Amino acid sequence: MSTSTRSPVWQGSFSQTGDSRVSRGRPDWTDAVFFLLLALGAGFALTRYSQAMDYYEKLILCGTVPVLAWLGWLWRPLRRLMLACALATGLALLLYQNDLGRADEVFWLKYLFSSQSAILWMSMLFILATACYWIGIVSPTAAWLGTALTWGAVFAGVTGLLVRWREGHLMGPDLGHIPVSNLYEVFVLFALMTALFYLYYERKYATRALGGFVLLVISSAMVFLLWYAFTRDAGQIQPLVPALKSWWMKLHVPANFIGYGTFSLAAMVGFAYLVKQHGETASWRKLVPLFVLGVLLCAEPMVFRSEGLSATWMIYGGVSVVIVSAILLARRRIAQALPPLEVLDDIMYRAIAVGFAFFTVATVLGALWAADAWGAYWQWDPKETWALIVWLNYAAWLHMRLLKGLRGTMAAYWALIGLLITGFAFLGVNMFLSGLHSYGEL
């Protein structure tokens, strides 16, 4: 199978190990200043809000300073994002003046900086970015706009979550908590994690051709988030159930959703791999398995309904199938813009490896949390069981990759099937299988 076709957009700027624009040099004075700013911010939080934190939460806050400083050195654009989000969040808190009622009175809060406004902006920017990335297949300028809109969406989403954290405390001392406790909040977290990892790989590999594929799964999450927010009033901040009132949540949930986000990214890169592979052949017969799997992925959100199908999800499923069909019909043109198959395979492997590491950590942390909350590390709760299934699936993928040389078509199909499994573990278990983790029911 030939893999020599390259897009002029990135030809010559790529190497198998990545783009030099993300190469890391020695820390310089800007890294020291960034670390100092993080330390000052943590010190301010410890001084101002110490009464809202226990001993372990204070340790976690202090521990995030070197971690964020290291991430900022590892990937410099992340520093600009963190600084911008900190400034926007600080402005929002100043506008609130410790009065939550100002969210409907102050223009900048009502239409931009309140948590729900920011998250709505995030949703729309992700959807617009998806369209721009696909237009960018034929117009590089539109692809650049897709990247800018994706960064804008991440900025809005991170700001929204940070402001929401403070809003909870303004509602009452017993309501404030890190905003990763329910389905609405973790959908935002999922979109942000997936987008950030994609933006890293986009820069590392100097190609924007994957943006349309990866943003499809994020846009699907945004459609669900908007439907959930407007039909179930899910954006309201609710008090935590007793089992969630724990500092473990600050560690377990983010690690878990780094896994979900990178697994989803790997699946969409696998989809791109198969589109490029089949774009170099005229055989429709070989497209049938990919089309069937694409339809199943489009239909999966439709079954996450406890009350049967609705017009919204029937339209969603129909539009999604049309999009998958259009991608397969235009596969030859899309294949020309995509990186070589070896590059797609490498991104898929790296994403799954990172996701598996974090998902493993999240599973261990979840067991420790369970022992603290319920007195047992493992109880074969449906959520725990499906988390184990997800873990075993990707453990097997990596085993076959590292020991048996799994590559190419089989690896890509397996990554796509993994998204079906992960999707059910993420949503389906909460919808259909009651248990100790039933915090996100519809």
pLDDT in tens, 47-104: 988 888 888 889 999 999 999 999 999 999 999 999 999 999 999 999 999 999 999 9
The angle subtended at Cα 76 by Cα 71 and Cα 82, nearest 5°, is 70
Burial 119-138, CB ≥16 within 10 A → b, else e: bbbbbebbbbbbbbbbbbbe
- For residue 186, what pLDDT band results from cuts at 50, 70 and 90? very high
Check: CB of residue 323 under 8 Å from CB of residue 134: no
State the amino acid at position 429 in one-letter form: V
- Classify residue 23: in a domain, yes or no: no
How far lies 32's CA from each of 65, 277, 330, 386, 395, in Å? 12, 46, 49, 43, 38
Q: Are residues 233 and 157 in the same domain?
A: yes
Question: Is residue 407 exposed (0-12), middle (13-18) or buried (19+ Cβ within 10 Å)?
Answer: middle
Q: Are residues 185 and 307 in the same domain?
A: no
> What pLDDT, on a 0 to 100 scale, did the predictor assign at position 99?
92
- Classify residue 37: in a domain, yes or no: yes
- For residue 9, what pLDDT band results from cuts at 50, 70 and 90? very low
Mean pLDDT of the region 235-251 = 86
Q: Are residues 45 and 158 in the same domain?
A: no
Mean pLDDT of the region 115-119 = 96
Mean pLDDT of the region 162-178 = 88
Q: Are residues 137 and 96 in the same domain?
A: yes
Q: Are residues 217 and 339 in the same domain?
A: no
Question: Is residue 97 exposed (0-12), middle (13-18) or buried (19+ Cβ within 10 Å)?
Answer: exposed
Mean pLDDT of the region 200-206 = 95
Percentage with pLDDT > 90 across the chain: 60
- Classify residue 135: in a domain, yes or no: yes
Percentage with pLDDT > 70 across the chain: 87
Q: Are residues 213 and 139 in the same domain?
A: yes
- Classify residue 19: in a domain, yes or no: no
Under 8 Å CB-to-CB from 242, ≥6 apart: which residues? none
> What pLDDT, on a 0 to 100 scale, did the predictor assign at position 352?
97
Please tell me which of 96-105, 221-230, 345-354, 416-425 the model is most confident about, judged by mean pLDDT: 345-354
CA-derived radius of gyration, the chain: 22
Of 47, 74, 101, the position where a domain reaches its end is: 74
Check: CB of residue 184 under 8 Å from CB of residue 190: no
Report which of 417, 422, 389 is spatially closest to residue 274, judged by C-alpha positions.
417
How far lies 107's CA from each of 94, 102, 117, in Å? 13, 9, 11
21 has a pLDDT exceeding 70:
no
> What pLDDT, on a 0 to 100 scale, did the predictor assign at position 339?
94
Q: Which residue has the higher pLDDT, 358 or 420?
A: 358
389: Cα separation from own chain's centroid:
20
> What pLDDT, on a 0 to 100 scale, did the predictor assign at position 120?
97
- Classify residue 251: in a domain, yes or no: no
Write out the residue range of the structural domain in which residue 278 sits: 260-441
Mean pLDDT of the region 125-149 = 95
Check: CB of residue 338 under 8 Å from CB of residue 206: no
Q: Are residues 94 and 176 in the same domain?
A: yes
Check: CB of residue 382 under 8 Å from CB of residue 430: no
> What pLDDT, on a 0 to 100 scale, did the predictor assign at position 374?
80
Structure tokens at 197: 């990892």
Q: Are residues 200 and 305 in the same domain?
A: no
The whole-model pTM stands at: 0.91
- Classify residue 333: in a domain, yes or no: yes
Rounded to whole angstroms, the Cα distance separating 413 from 411 reads 6
> What pLDDT, on a 0 to 100 scale, did the predictor assign at position 3?
38
Structure tokens at 190: 């999922």
435 has a pLDDT exceeding 80:
no
Mean pLDDT of the region 165-176 = 86
Q: Are residues 306 and 192 in the same domain?
A: no
Q: Are residues 367 and 269 in the same domain?
A: yes
Report which of 158, 233, 224, 236 is spatially closest to residue 187, judged by C-alpha positions.
224
Q: Among the listed ranges 19-33, 264-278, 352-366, which one has the minimum average pLDDT value?
A: 19-33
Rounded to whole angstroms, the Cα distance separating 381 from 400 reads 28
Phi, psi for 252 (deg, rounded to 5): -65, -50
Q: Are residues 310 and 401 in the same domain?
A: yes
- Classify residue 11: in a domain, yes or no: no
In the block, which residue shows the tokens 């070197």? 66
Q: Are residues 276 and 416 in the same domain?
A: yes
Rounded to whole angstroms, the Cα distance separating 71 from 80 reads 12
Q: Among the listed ranges 163-167, 346-350, 369-373, which one has the minimum average pLDDT value?
A: 369-373
Report which of 117, 98, 91, 31 is spatially closest to residue 66, judged by C-alpha positions.
31
Which 8-state DSSP code applies to residue 51? G
Report which of 35, 241, 32, 45 is spatially closest to residue 162, judged by C-alpha positions.
45
Domain count, the chain: 3
> What pLDDT, on a 0 to 100 scale, did the predictor assign at position 155?
98
- For residue 434, what pLDDT band results from cuts at 50, 70 and 90? low
Mean pLDDT of the region 191-210 = 96
List, for residues 384-402, the tens digit of each pLDDT value.
Answer: 899 999 999 999 999 999 9
Q: Among the listed ranges 261-275, 318-332, 403-417, which one has the minimum average pLDDT value?
A: 318-332
> What pLDDT, on a 0 to 100 scale, did the predictor assign at position 442?
54
> What pLDDT, on a 0 to 100 scale, did the predictor assign at position 142?
92
> What pLDDT, on a 0 to 100 scale, did the predictor assign at position 141?
87
Of 74, 109, 132, the position where a domain reaches its end is: 74
Q: Helices H, strands E: what count in the chain?
A: 16, 0
How far lies 299's CA from each of 143, 238, 294, 302, 413, in Å? 28, 30, 9, 5, 17
- Classify residue 242: in a domain, yes or no: no
